[in-house]
Chains A and B, each alone.
Chain A
Amino acid sequence: MSKHDSTRRSFLKRAAVGAGAVAGSGLVPDVYTQTLEQHKDAAAPSESHATSIQHGAFFNYEQGTTIAAFTERLMPGAPGKAGARDAGVLNYIDLALAGAYADLQDFYRRGLAELDAYCRTTYKQPFAQLEPARQDEVITTLEQGKAAGFSWPTAQEFFNVVRTHTMEGMFADPIYGGNRDFAGWRLVGFPGAQGNFTATDLQNKQTFTRAPMTGLQAQAGLQAQAKNPQRTE
């Protein structure tokens, strides 16, 4: 609990510099970070890495723990292979439910309650405390629509939406709070938004390495710098 509280406090502090900053802090190349540091009240950028369970915009502690565990089974991390936790999928979904997907708040609330009831009835434990193999068993019954006690959302609907949001959190631009340090893009070998591929690039039969990955905030920073060099120093 105390861990949660401190996470929440630092979350709120960071929120003072805007949702985008929460999403992007620590992620983007120098040009944007420099701009950020000019905000005297901004928290230290390193804080965003303080814990891997980031939430607080929508989920309560238990919900956050469950979603963190669930999404990690959908995209498990392994040495050298980023998973949902590494990519910050929980943070992505948490921020999305507080904003763009606010109309899905009840969907998640109820789906999580149904999942909790199902796990307590079947295994006498909440989802997050089950062994990974058991968790996979639960997810499989959800995916196949065989888990009892779900009405709305149905087990399959809940599975499908969480799966979709997990993929979004893995692969959306880091500005939305997931894909931390481009973990998802690195995992699959996507170079991110590149404004330009050359004729030589088009002939390449190897993986693309010519240019670095940049996120939307860095790109916006570069545009601002190009338009108005003295403002960003």
Chain B
Amino acid sequence: MATQKTDVVIVGVGAVGGILAAELGKAGMKVIGLERGPRLTTQDFSALDELRYFQRQELRPSSKRQPVTWRPDAKTNAKPLPILNYGNQAGGGTVHYGALSWRFHEDDFRARSHTIERYGASAIPADSSLTDWPLTYADLEPFYDQAEYELGVSGRAGNLQGRKTDAGNPFEAPRRREYPLPALLPDQSGVIFAAAGQKLGYHPFSSPRAILSQPYQGRAGCTYCGFCQSFGCHMAAKSSILVTKLPEADATGNFKLLTGTMCYRVNSDNSGRVTGVSYYAADGSDNTIEADLVILATFIYDNTRLLLLSKTAKFPNGLANSSGQLGKHLMAHIGARVFVAFDDRYVNIYMGPSAQKHSLDDFNADNFDHSGMKFVRGAQLSVTPADLEAGPIGASISMNPPPGIPRWGAAYRDFLAKYFARYAAFIAQTENLPYADQTVDLDPHVRDQYGMPAPRLTYDWRRPNEVARIEFLLNKLEELGRASGATHVWRSPTGSGAPGAHHEGGTRMGSDPKLSVVNRYGQSWDIPNLFVIGSSTFPTMSGFNPTLTIQALAYSSADAIVNRYKKSPGALV
């Protein structure tokens, strides 16, 4: 049992933790980062191996050792989710993510007010906890800019300081300047998707991604190998935290990374402050870090679980939970898919960065009129391989063949043989509304490898608003499919109510301590020297992938800690 003292302990060194480590370290604060996984290097990713990284999920947490359980409702027993969608090593999920890097729309930050202004309060489902964020797009814009330039994001501006550019995404919120790098080249699936979108009068564009289209900051540009989502980048062209912020944190001389360390409790005293954390090291030993400031950056499950597990006589419902909101408002993206396949040409979708390659934003947020529709909010539409990964294992596991063709046998073999290199998936990534009864709590039956109760999700997206949205979007995707000139267009089943990608919520941020867990900086309302940062704080989710917004929030928190909290520790709001 060892005890160390430091200024700041960061638990989880992924998208969030890496940014805070570098920024606080640069400001002269002594930082220890606890990361349960290893620290890999670019050399470790030289094997372009679909079985290892996509199918066997080597870079993700193990669903056996680190189970996260799910049940559709409170009456059903929860079972471990088979696949976990977050990180398990230094750099976290950014090591293997698809690197889609979006700024949210202005109305994403005020979804409730905006909906009421345009459609009236009755448009919002009575049981939804749809709300506004405690900050605006304009508040976050400088930090989006910082993230794009420091990490390296490729894209094309659609809205420069309020002026539409006739390129990029015309629906994007105003940005102060161009992207640091030009947009990535489209492959043939992008070309097909763009032509279909234009034909129907929409506005397709190459998706902005944290992947270098050209050399940048000493790293090489992308070689379009296609082993992208699920894989570490063998070129370091993906702007993961591993190759961006961690070297920066190292260079400060103030950062110490402890890998193979599992934090199991946040310690607190009777004065109402946290004093540090306890963790198990790789050798099984039980250790303590004493710190003035504790930052949880473990992704939504452990951000919630650690607060619940750290309850004391003073905080009987868990830390930071005087509001009773801890663990509530869980959200996830659902992907509605339509497949297209061509008899007269090849698509070769395995070329180029694999995830959500080309997009259109015409049906996202409130970019289209919802009057007379049975739902509010929308989805980001894009073209992608079957499971956002482009190899033949992925296609054979994740692509349902068209109606009439079985999943095995000679007809299936011939289907794969003919269409593997001639198909694409059009996908809608939906902005599902928050509901208070969608929750993260502690599973009373399932434990992880450390004997800690597993995080348990109670969630079912199949609510009237969301079901109506999916049906609308599947029709749009089919329309796009037909406009693409594809020989075959068919739907993928929408499946069970299980949460899809990008889990969010659990430690909601807000402007009212009675209705939220943390303030806009991720600072606990109850305990000022405790911060919780990541998508667990999102009040609503947007149809866009979350990570650039997570990273902008991390920069915003770092700025507040360095420039204000450090000088006078206390409540920031």
Contact = CB atoms under 8 A, between A and B. Distances in A.
A196 B421 contact: no
A168 interface: yes
B346 A207 contact: yes
Interface in A117-143: 136, 139, 143
Nearest to A100: B56
Contacts of B188: 202-205
Interface in B15-66: 46-51, 55-56, 64
B351 A197 contact: yes
A206 B346 CA distance: 5
Contacts of A163: 407-408
Interface in B111-125: none
Contact of B51 (A136, A176, A189): A176
Given A188-B417, A197-B224, A76 B410 contact: yes
A166 B346 CA distance: 26
A204 B46 CA distance: 26
A185 B407 contact: no
Given A188-B420, A188-B421, A202-B188, A171 B391 contact: yes
Interface in B212-243: 223-227, 234
Contacts of A207: 346, 348, 421
A219 B46 contact: yes
A189 B224 contact: no
A194 B408 contact: no
A171 B50 contact: yes
B351 A216 contact: no
Residues of B contacting A: mostly: loop
A109 interface: no
A201 B64 CA distance: 41
A172 B393 contact: yes
A190 B391 CA distance: 8
B396 A171 contact: yes
B201 interface: no
B350 interface: yes
A202 B186 contact: yes
B377 to A, nearest CB: 34
A223 B70 CA distance: 44
A27 interface: no
Contacts of A220: 47
A146 interface: no
Contacts of B395: 188
A51 B414 CA distance: 26
A208 B349 CA distance: 11
Contacts of A193: 47-49, 225, 227
Interface residues of B, number: 42
B345 interface: yes
Interface string B330-352: 00000000000000011010111
Contacts of A173: 49-51
Interface string A43-59: 00000000000000000
Interface string B412-427: 1110110011000000
Contacts of A164: 397
Given A164-B397, A197-B351, A188 B392 contact: yes
Interface in A153-176: 163-164, 166-168, 170-173, 176
A136 B352 CA distance: 39
Contact of B392 (A83, A171, A205, A206): A171
Contacts of B226: 194, 197
Given A163-B408, A172-B55, A187 B348 contact: no
Interface in A177-198: 184-185, 187-191, 193-198
A1 interface: no
B214 to A, nearest CB: 13
Given A172-B50, A189-B420, A223-B46, A196 B225 contact: yes
B397 A139 contact: no
B281 interface: no
A198 B221 CA distance: 12
B160 interface: no
B118 to A, nearest CB: 41
A196 B47 CA distance: 13
A110 interface: no
A202 B224 contact: yes
A8 interface: no
B413 A184 contact: no
B408 A139 contact: yes
Contacts of B345: 205
Contacts of A168: 51, 55, 393
A202 B421 contact: no
Looking at A74, A194, A197, A203, the one whose CB has the most chain B CB atoms below 10 A away is: A197
28 contacts: A74-B408, A76-B413, A78-B413, A163-B407, A164-B397, A167-B392, A167-B397, A171-B396, A172-B51, A172-B393, A173-B51, A185-B392, A187-B417, A190-B391, A190-B420, A193-B48, A193-B49, A194-B48, A194-B226, A202-B186, A202-B187, A202-B188, A202-B352, A205-B345, A207-B346, A207-B348, A219-B48, A223-B46
Interface of A: 73-76, 78, 81, 83, 100, 103, 136, 139, 143, 163-164, 166-168, 170-173, 176, 184-185, 187-191, 193-199, 201-208, 216, 219-220, 223
